[in-house]
Chain A
Amino acid sequence: NAGVTQTPKFRVLKTGQSMTLLCAQDMNHEYMYWYRQDPGMGLRLIHYSVGEGTTAKGEVPDGYNVSRLKKQNFLLGLESAAPSQTSVYFCASSYPGQGVLYYEQYFGPGTRLTVT
């Protein structure tokens, strides 16, 4: 049981390049999230998904796109990277169990992205 995994772990991009970050979970979780973490800013929600085939915008969605074609995978895309997107990106998942109103999030190890 690997939990939440993210690839790649590190990446350096030039301004204008594109890339896709992959998040995978093997816990059969319904909800998945993408966050970015910057010094002094905490974790900010980029996009999230409440089920296969659905996505929604979070707090800072501009410059990013997502897809959830399979329940276990959540992809984050940067179409044209900018230096302001230099950050650590975390994926998380959670499970709304039956009769449970509130549920914790399980985080992946993170992807450190630098855009030059």
Chain B
Amino acid sequence: GQQVMQIPQYQHVQEGEDFTTYCNSSTTLSNIQWYKQRPGGHPVFLIQLVKSGEVKKQKRLTFQFGEAKKNSSLHITATQTTDVGTYFCAGDKAGTASKLTFGTGTRLQVTL
């Protein structure tokens, strides 16, 4: 079946440092979504990418969808303590009625 892997599993940064998490799918995706889960909370939707090579920005967050639509990345510039949480990518294979396959997640810890 479809597999979606994320690296790294965990990253600890000092506030102000940059952070990147990578997402790789074993199959081509129709779209990819990113979610953030704060400690003790539930996943919250961040963004969706649909087009090959698409890049979207949300303030300090930059999301990219690979040309082959099999990988994606999330880059955070100048991390803040409010960025703490686990970031999940989730891929939707074409024709699966919005049935997402979630990646394993990257847990981000930010300290002062």
With both beta carbons as reference points, the residue of chain B lying nearest to A91 in the complex is identified as B42
B9 to chain A, nearest CB (A): 7
Q: Flag whether B30 is at the interface (Cβ < 8 A).
A: yes
With both beta carbons as reference points, the residue of chain B lying nearest to A45 in the complex is identified as B99
Q: Which of A29-50 contact B (CB under 8 A)?
A: 31, 33, 35, 40-45, 48, 50
Q: Which of A64-116 contact B (CB under 8 A)?
A: 90, 92, 94, 96, 101-110
A30 to B66, CA, bound (A): 30
A45 to B92, CA, bound (A): 13
Residue of B88, B97, B100 contacting most chain A CB atoms (<10 Å): B100
Q: Which of A8-47 contact B (CB under 8 A)?
A: 31, 33, 35, 40-45
A93 to B42, CA, bound (A): 13
User: Does A43 contact B43, Cβ atoms closer than 8 Å?
Assistant: yes
User: Given A48-B99, A59-B1, A105-B100, A40 and B43 touching (CB < 8 A)?
Assistant: no
- Please, how many residues of chain A have a CB less than 8 angstroms from a CB on the other chain? 27
User: Does A110 contact B98, Cβ atoms closer than 8 Å?
Assistant: no
A104 to B35, CA, bound (A): 9
With both beta carbons as reference points, the residue of chain B lying nearest to A96 in the complex is identified as B98
Q: Flag whether A58 is at the interface (Cβ < 8 A).
A: yes
Q: Flag whether B50 is at the interface (Cβ < 8 A).
A: yes
Q: Which residues of A contact B (CB under 8 A)?
A: 31, 33, 35, 40-45, 48, 50, 58-59, 90, 92, 94, 96, 101-110
Extra contacts besides A102-B31, A105-B100 (17): CB < 8 Å: A42-B103, A42-B105, A43-B88, A48-B99, A50-B97, A59-B101, A92-B43, A101-B31, A103-B98, A105-B33, A105-B43, A105-B45, A106-B45, A107-B42, A108-B42, A109-B41, A110-B42
20 A-B residue pairs with Cβ-Cβ distance under 8 Å, sorted by A, are A31-B98, A40-B104, A42-B102, A42-B105, A43-B43, A50-B97, A59-B1, A90-B42, A92-B43, A94-B98, A96-B98, A102-B33, A102-B98, A104-B33, A104-B45, A104-B48, A105-B33, A105-B98, A106-B45, A110-B42
